[in-house]
């Protein structure tokens, strides 16, 4: 019986060894699956980071262009203010020099010209369009006023 017992022990040991190898192989398969998932997640994260970097660079370039455009507009605005101030000074000088021009400038505007300058408080494009389409619009130059 001793030989039979040794054979059974040998078979049990062999079965335990096969079971341990099978468990280890299963663990390796699971670990490889998790490694692939982690690599896929890392690739997705890198792709997202690259896309975000491109977006950030595009936004930075747009911001730089906007700032340059704003600087240009500010310079133009300053030039226009200087031109306006120069013209106003020239007009005032002409008024002081020319008595006829001073009398003309002191007269009130005609009714038609005054109506052109009158506007209600408008808020938005729709209100402006409605105001233009309304009754208070100035008639075309060819129409003669009723007397």
pLDDT at 44: 95
Does a structural domain hold residue 53?
yes
Does a structural domain hold residue 125?
no
Does a structural domain hold residue 122?
no
Does a structural domain hold residue 25?
yes
Rg (CA), the chain: 45
Phi, psi at 137, each rounded to 5°: -70, 145
**Alpha helices, DSSP H only, in 98-110?**
99-106
pLDDT at 38: 94
pLDDT at 140: 60
Task: Please tell me the total count of domains within the chain.
Answer: 1
pLDDT at 137: 54
pLDDT at 25: 95
Does a structural domain hold residue 9?
yes
Query: Which residues span the domain enclosing 54?
Result: 2-106
What is the pTM for the complete model shown?
A: 0.45
CB 138 within 8 A of CB 116: yes
The 3 state secondary structure assigned to 22-70 is HHHHHHHHHHHHHHHHHHHHHHHHHHHHHHHHHHHHHHHHHHHHHHHHH
pLDDT at 75: 96
CB 92 within 8 A of CB 102: no
Does a structural domain hold residue 48?
yes
pLDDT at 142: 59
pLDDT at 31: 95
Q: What is the mean pLDDT of each run of 10 residues along the chain (147 residues)?
A: 87 94 95 94 95 96 97 96 94 84 82 76 81 64 56
Does a structural domain hold residue 124?
no
Does a structural domain hold residue 141?
no
> Closest Cα partner for 95 from 107, 84, 83?
107
């Amino acid at each position: 019986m001793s030989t039979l017992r040794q054979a059974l022990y040998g078979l049990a040991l062999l079965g335990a060894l096969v079971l341990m190898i099978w468990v280890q192989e299963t663990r390796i398969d699971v670990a490889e699956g998790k490694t692939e998932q982690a690599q896929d997640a890392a690739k997705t994260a890198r792709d997202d980071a690259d896309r975000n970097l491109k977006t950030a660079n595009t936004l930075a370039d747009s911001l730089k262009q906007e700032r340059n455009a704003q600087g240009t507009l500010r310079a133009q605005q300053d030039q226009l203010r200087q031109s306006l101030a120069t013209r106003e000074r020239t007009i005032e000088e002409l008024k002081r020099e020319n008595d006829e021009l001073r009398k003309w400038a002191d007269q009130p505007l005609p009714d038609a010209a005054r109506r052109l300058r009158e506007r209600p408080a408008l808020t938005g494009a729709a209100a402006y369009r409605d105001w233009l389409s309304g009754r208070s619009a100035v008639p075309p130059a060819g129409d003669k006023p009723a007397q």
